[in-house]
């Protein structure tokens, strides 16, 4: 009986001791947290939140994807298990990405024998930088005018067709490729991770980027808008040879760890497999206005059966103007400053409307922005355009034009010259072509853009010489064209392909 009475007493002693220990363990919690100690951004920056988007549902773990992209660069050994891989790249170095067809037999038969379109992007990994991506890229453009963030090393690439780089999208390139053929694209990343750090006092960690690939197939209208597959991987970009040093440092750190600690980290793989992800939300690449010189639909270059020339007059491309107007609001003026690489001065002109900016004199702008930027801003405000190196005028020839020219020649032989203009009241429409590089390739692209066709459809360009001979256009010949020379364009179908020859008369 005495033993039975002591049992509850012992339980009370144990219970009271546990309560005291638990109270002691809770003491002090919250005392060191001031009003400003808790930051939601710090919580969102935790790895569990960063990997939220890249993680896939359990049902998709064993899913076989239609395509696989392999970046030929080693992953870092200093990445913990279950975290996303991290790959170090050198600035400006060419890295191969293999485009592999991973379809099962009978899967996606609609793309058999057809091309698909892939769009490459280098974007920010951190969500907070993604929200300000436009401002970040405009700042980079301002600091490095004329440079691109992402480029394709075309001579080293294999199997890519019609690669394009939009000058307004520094971090994006695109091309067509055939999944049935071997395709490898070599990319170059020209920005480094530390260029986008908040503080630059030396020794800061660079921000991570993502290489994302989105692949599309053609729809019924011949536009590459139907999404097939997207994948991405995490990278960091260092100055030349910096990635090799960083990889070596990580490897040496891992060698110093105990075997038990090494089990918590991933091994370093020789290549990086891009993992499936959601397509990039920006859809500017799937609208009806393709990137410069690229058009997936070639029906606009229809040929007449008679003389082999296009059966319609080409429509000139709409003029690209971004002039500031007096009616521009302060908010629109801020956007105009960003678009024209004046992001540094947006805070100075926060409350300026279009009328306020246009009232500034040249001396005012130079005093505010300094000599170099002030002159550039003043010229932009006044809408001063850079004069092209060469301007030529072209008119498309047709059967009607030929007949009219023959009639004019007969009339000129029978009577004296009339006043300027046509005697029968007709006139011909010419289109201006502005050349900067003075090369045959540039002339081909400009003519293709005028006709809304792909440059690949133009085989050669000739100039009609004496006695009607056809002289092949070269860079040297274009450099000797007279300013504002006028030409009549005639087309002739190539014998060995579906392309055409252009003849300047």
Quick check: 85 pLDDT over 70? yes
Q: Is the predicted pLDDT of residue 176 greater than 90, yes or no?
A: yes
Question: Among 41-55, 151-165, 218-232, whose mean pLDDT is lowest?
Answer: 41-55
Average pLDDT over residues 407-415: 62
pLDDT of residue 410: 63
Residue 33 has pLDDT above 70, yes or no: no
pLDDT at 74 over 90: yes
Judged against a pLDDT cut of 60, whether residue 317 lies above it is answered with no
- Rounded mean pLDDT of the chain? 76
Predicted pLDDT at 62: 55
Question: Is 1.10.40 the CATH number for 390-403+428-504?
Answer: no
CATH T-level fold of 67-276 = Immunoglobulin-like (2.60.40)
Q: Which of the given ranges, 62-71, 125-134, 182-191, 313-322, has the highest pLDDT on average?
A: 182-191
Q: What is the DSSP string of 400-463?
A: HHHHHHHHHHHHHHHS---SSS-TTS-----EEEEESS--HHHHHHHHHHHHTS-GGGEEEEEE
The pLDDT score that the predictor gives to residue 273 is 94
Q: Beta strands 86-90 and 160-164: pairing type?
A: unpaired
Per the CB < 8 A criterion, the answer to whether 193 and 199 are in contact is no
pLDDT over 50 at 331, yes or no? yes
Distance in angstroms (rounded) separating the CA atoms of residues 317 and 298: 16
pLDDT of 197-239, one tens digit each?
A: 766 555 567 889 999 999 999 888 888 988 999 999 999 999 9
> What is the Cα–Cα distance from 189 to 209, expressed in whole angstroms?
10
Q: Which two tokens stand for residue 193?
A: 């991770």
Amino acid 330: pLDDT: 87
Q: Judge residue 87's burial from the number of C-beta atoms within 10 Å of its C-beta, 0-12 exposed, 13-18 middle, 19 or more buried.
A: buried
Q: Give the Cβ contact number of residue 382 at 10 Å.
A: 11
**pLDDT at residue 211, as a whole number:** 95
| Cβ 213 vs Cβ 231: under 8 Å | yes
**Is the model more confident about 64 or about 63?**
64
User: pLDDT tens for residues 333-386?
Assistant: 888 888 888 887 888 888 888 888 888 888 888 888 888 888 888 888 877 556
- Between residues 119 and 17, the one the model is more confident about: 119
**Inter-helix orientation angle 330-339/133-143, to 10°:** 50
pLDDT value at residue 427: 63
Structure tokens belonging to residue 457: 């459809």
Residues 229 and 362: their CA atoms lie apart, in Å, by 52
Helices (H), 298-393: 330-339, 354-358, 362-369, 371-381
Residue predicted with more confidence, 75 or 369: 75
pLDDT digits (tens, 9 = 90+) for 465-500: 888 888 898 989 988 888 888 988 888 887 777 778
């Amino acid at each position: 009986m005495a033993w039975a009475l002591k049992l509850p007493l012992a339980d009370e002693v144990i219970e009271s001791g546990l309560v005291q220990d638990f109270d002691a363990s809770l003491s002090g919690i919250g005392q060191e947290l001031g009003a400003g100690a808790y930051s939601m951004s710090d919580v969102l920056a935790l790895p569990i939140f960063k990997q939220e988007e890249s993680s896939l549902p359990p049902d998709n773990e064993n899913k076989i994807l239609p395509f696989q992209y392999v970046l030929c660069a080693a992953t870092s050994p200093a990445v913990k298990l279950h975290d996303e891989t991290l790959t170090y790249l050198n600035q400006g170095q060419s890295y191969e990405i293999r485009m592999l067809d991973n379809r099962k037999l009978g899967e996606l038969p609609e793309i058999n024998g057809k091309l698909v379109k892939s769009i490459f992007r280098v974007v920010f990994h951190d969500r907070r930088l993604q929200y300000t991506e436009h401002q970040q890229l405009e700042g980079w453009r301002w600091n490095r005018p004329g440079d691109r963030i992402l480029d394709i090393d075309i001579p080293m690439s294999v199997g890519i067709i019609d690669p394009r780089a939009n000058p307004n999208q520094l971090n994006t390139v695109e091309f067509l490729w055939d999944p049935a053929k071997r395709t490898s694209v070599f990319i170059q990343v020209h920005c480094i991770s530390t260029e986008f750090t908040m503080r630059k006092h030396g020794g800061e960690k660079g921000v991570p980027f993502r290489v994302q690939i989105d692949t599309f197939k053609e729809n019924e209208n011949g536009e590459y808008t139907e999404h097939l597959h997207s994948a991405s991987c995490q990278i960091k970009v260092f100055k030349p040879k910096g990635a090799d040093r960083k990889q070596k440092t990580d490897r040496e750190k891992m060698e110093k760890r105990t075997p038990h600690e090494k089990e918590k980290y991933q091994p370093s793989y020789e290549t990086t497999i891009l993992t499936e992800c959601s397509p990039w939300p920006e859809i500017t690449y799937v609208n009806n206005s393709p990137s410069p010189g690229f058009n997936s639909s070639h029906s606009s270059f229809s040929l007449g059966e008679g003389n082999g020339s296009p059966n319609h007059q080409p429509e000139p491309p709409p003029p690209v103007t971004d002039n500031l107007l007096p009616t521009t609001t302060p908010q629109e003026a801020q956007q105009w400053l960003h678009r024209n690489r004046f992001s540094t001065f947006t805070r100075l002109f926060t409350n300026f409307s279009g009328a306020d900016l246009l009232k500034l004199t040249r001396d005012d702008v130079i005093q505010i922005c300094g000599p170099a930027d002030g002159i550039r801003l003043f010229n932009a405000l006044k809408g001063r355009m850079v004069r092209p190196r060469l301007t030529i005028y072209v008119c498309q020839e047709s059967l009607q034009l030929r007949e009219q020219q023959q009639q004019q020649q007969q009339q000129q032989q029978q009577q004296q010259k009339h006043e300027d203009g046509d005697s029968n009241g007709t006139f011909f429409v010419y289109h201006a072509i502005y050349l900067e590089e003075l090369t045959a390739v540039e002339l081909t692209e400009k003519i293709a853009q005028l006709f809304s066709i792909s440059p690949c459809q133009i085989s050669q360009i000739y100039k009609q010489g004496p006695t009607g001979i056809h002289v092949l256009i070269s860079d040297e010949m274009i450099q000797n064209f007279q300013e504002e020379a006028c030409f009549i364009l005639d087309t002739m179908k190539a014998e060995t392909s579906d392309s055409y020859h252009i003849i300047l008369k």
